[in-house]
Amino acid sequence: MIRAPAMAAMDYSDTLRQGVGQWSPNGKYLAGAQQNRLQIREPDSLKLLQVFICIDKVERIEWSPDSQLLLTEVARPGLLQIWSLRDSEWTCRIYEGLAGVAHARFGDSDTVLVSVEFQLYISIWQLQEGSSAPVARIERPKFAASGVTLSRDGCWLAMLRRPEGQDRLSVYNAEGKFGCLTDVTLSGDAGQLHWGPDDSTLVLCELPGRPPWCRLHLGRDRRRNVLGFPRKLWFLGQKNSESRSSDGESM
């Protein structure tokens, strides 16, 4: 006779009535929202640590990478609110007006990327005292909630764009005013992109529906050629592969 192994006893917490919830990246906090109340709790005991009152019902929350700021998308067109765990008196509002907010995310702990409706543009806000306008606006992102990524060292911002019905990969200088360093035309239907571990490579993934391919954009040493990133583009498919320069000429 085979006996099933005994199941370990499990303890359950009390039910928390919250619409949305998210763990902080460092695992030290649990954020949840009930109507317009943003609640911060200790993860083990669920002790309430802090409460922020938002201007309207909270629809989505996101932690900053350093677990010190919380971004809230609220049920009011074009408005975001950001809160600080270090300073409960500090608050920030970002208003995009009639363009509305399709999706907002942190680039790094001091930068917020806001996609407006209909992929008209992404505005880039730096969380500095006295700042009342975005530092840059990048037109025609391909997606509202994906297709944009900041390099690990915070120097470059890569984005998939689709102006005039053509996919493009654009790389911007994230250390300044987000000037465009390079703009590469893509022949396929790109779906997502990721930086390599050392920030010298970009990997692009195609959406389903075509033979799979992977594109690697290789950047040169930024100290020697900052404006030349990226210089080479590799197309890797099932049946063929070729190497092209960033201007599209075969090599």
Residues 83-131 have pLDDT tens digits of 999 998 998 999 998 889 999 999 999 999 999 999 999 999 998 766 7
Number of H helices, E strands in the chain: 0, 21
Q: Tell me the average pLDDT across 51-62.
A: 95
Fold classification of 14-139 is Methylamine Dehydrogenase; Chain H (2.130.10)
238 vs 43: which has the higher pLDDT: 43
Mean pLDDT value across residues 232-250: 37
Sorted by where each begins, the domain ranges of the chain are 14-139, 141-251
Mean pLDDT of 223-230: 37
pLDDT at residue 209 greater than cutoff 90: no
Does pTM top 0.75 for this prediction? Answer: yes
Q: Do 94 and 78 touch, CB atoms closer than 8 A?
A: no
How many Å is the Cα radius of gyration of the chain? 22
| Cα–Cα separations (whole angstroms), residue 124 to 31, 62, 103, 138 | 25, 16, 12, 8
Stronger pLDDT, 132 or 46, i.e. the higher one: 46
Task: Calculate what percentage of the chain has a pLDDT beyond 90.
Answer: 53
Token code pair at residue 186: 């893509």
Cα-based angle 179, 248, 187 (whole degrees, multiple of 5): 90
